[in-house]
Amino acid sequence: MSHDTNESTTDRPVGATSKRNTGDLTKAAVSGWLGTAMEFMDFQLYSLAAAIVFNRIFFPDVSPAIGLIAAMATYGVGYFARLVGAIYFGRMGDRIGRKKVLFITIAMMGASTTLIGALPTYDAIGILAPVLLVALRLIQGFGAGAEIAGATVMLVEYAPDKRRGLIGSLVSLGTNSGTLAASGIWAILLVVLTDDQLISWGWRIPFLASFFLMLFALWLRTNLKESPVFEDRADVVDGVALSREQIENSDEGVKASVLESGLRQRKGRAFFVALGLRFGQAGNSGLVQTFLVGYIASTLLMDKSIATTAIVYGSLIGFVTIPVVGILGDRFGRRPMYMALSGATMVLAFPLMLLVTSGNNVTLVLGMIFALNIGVLGLFSLESVTMAELFGARTRFTQLALAKEIGGILATAIGPLLAATLTAITGSWWPIAAMLVIYSAITLVSAYLAPETRGRDLVRLDDAI
């Protein structure tokens, strides 16, 4: 069976050569990069706060281990809200366009993140404090559920098809930028402030400061043109997608064009392949970028700044890893790169965790850098373009958002909580390595079963499989 589904080999934005110029592509690239940077900065700020201080600020009356589990649970709550947001905004984005949805989602994310920085603590208002924290986390997640999917779809639909891997990697660079910014801010706070200062007021600084980034992102997106692929879809009339009933009642030319493009294709296969591809990156991210930070501080009893510093170094190296993987994906295809990176993560999982838990600062940093770049950032560079190419234009936003968020719930949200529980029960680090192997194995199998999507015509309404 052939895995190649290439239908287009021209180096152009499919179906939109005369509609978008280099300036438009630049605006889309900056908007996509900034939106995902803001999303991941917001979430990384929260996840690091959950791992470092929230257990003492919002859950002070429990043991350190239970406090960490409770903080990880509030971190995971946002992923269920993301699923609801993915369904709601994904369908909206497929029907009325990508631009309008991206404006709404970034406003919701930015407002809720800023308000987290203004929350009273448990000592001030008791149980109402964690309740409000969870409420804002839900709002944040609802908006974020479609942000990265929308930014990915917009950027990939703008990109020349022979450079989609490289240009699509800008979304991943945005996530890396956000992670780096959040980790850098926390690293500085941990070094500059005393523990009392951090707990009393220092933790609020990054949340409140995100307000200014939100204002800039909103301004940028008001000047962004709609996706050329959305406008070129056979089922879009006057900027709105026709419903199935409207298509059936339309003139024969429109009806034949839409039906020929695969409107009646049975959905499901591409979605489950995409979900499997998502599992490795999402699960590995939750373990490396979230759980290990708290584990190193609370269980290994090492300085909190060591783990955040490792993430900063790993993210800096990621600015090379991400575009290089994108270029290699354009050159050799998505499948071979997926299989190579997920296989490497499986082989290296136990050795890397030995380095992380060795008690030596240098080996800990090296272990986290390798785990982050191979098992998280490299896979994410591929994910940004491959999942968009797997889906047809009519449901691309919805299916991509759902695959990302369901994968996030099953892997990123539940993973840190499960890892916290298993390491507490076993008193060992080996469950972390085992989970890395399992997550990566799911992605390896999914990549083997997937078609090669490089160069696929994105205006088509049918899925790749």
pLDDT tens digit string along 330-349?
999 999 999 999 999 999 99
Position 332 in a domain? yes
Residues 261-274: tens digit of each pLDDT: 656 666 789 999 99
For residue 289, what is the DSSP state? I
What was the pLDDT predicted at 262? Answer: 58
327 or 294, which is more confident?
327
Residue range of the domain that includes 106:
22-224+256-449
What was the pLDDT predicted at 64? Answer: 63
**Close Cβ partners of 26 (under 8 Å, ≥ 6 residues apart):** none
Q: Which of 201, 196, 89 is nearest to 151 (CA)?
A: 89
Position 97 in a domain? yes
Position 419 in a domain? yes
Answer yes or no: is pLDDT of 430 > 70: yes
**Close Cβ partners of 95 (under 8 Å, ≥ 6 residues apart):** 240, 241
Position 234 in a domain? no
Q: Which contacts (CB < 8 Å, 24+ apart) does range 191-194 have? A: 191/305
Choose the weakest-confidence range: 124-128, 150-154, 367-371, 437-441.
Answer: 124-128
**CATH number of 136's domain:** 1.20.1250.20
Position 241 in a domain? no
Position 93 in a domain? yes
Q: Helix, strand, coil % (nearest 5) of the chain? A: 80, 0, 20
What was the pLDDT predicted at 9? Answer: 37
The rounded distance, in Å, linking the Cα atoms of 46 and 65 is 19
Mean residue pLDDT of the chain comes to 85
Residues 279-297: tens digit of each pLDDT: 999 999 989 988 888 888 8
Position 9 in a domain? no
The rounded distance, in Å, linking the Cα atoms of 365 and 93 is 41
Position 183 in a domain? yes
Average pLDDT over residues 438-454: 96
Domain count, the chain: 1
pLDDT band at 7 (very low <50, low <70, confident <90, very high): very low
Average pLDDT over residues 241-267: 70
Q: Which of 34, 71, 50 is nearest to 176 (CA)?
A: 34
Residues 15-43: tens digit of each pLDDT: 444 356 677 788 888 888 888 888 778 87
Residues 124-145: tens digit of each pLDDT: 888 788 888 888 888 888 888 8
What was the pLDDT predicted at 416? Answer: 86
Q: Which of 224, 34, 46 is nearest to 148 (CA)?
A: 34
The rounded distance, in Å, linking the Cα atoms of 443 and 459 is 27
**Contact criterion met (CB below 8 Å) for 176 and 344:** no
Backbone angles phi, psi at 98, to 5 degrees: -80, -35
Q: Which of 88, 38, 50 is nearest to 291 (CA)?
A: 50
Residues 140-185: tens digit of each pLDDT: 888 888 888 998 999 899 888 889 999 988 888 887 788 778 878 8
Choose the weakest-confidence range: 63-72, 334-343, 427-436.
Answer: 63-72
* Most confident range, picked from 46-50, 194-198, 298-302: 194-198
**Contact criterion met (CB below 8 Å) for 144 and 42:** yes
Residues 183-223: tens digit of each pLDDT: 788 888 888 988 888 888 888 998 998 888 888 888 888 88
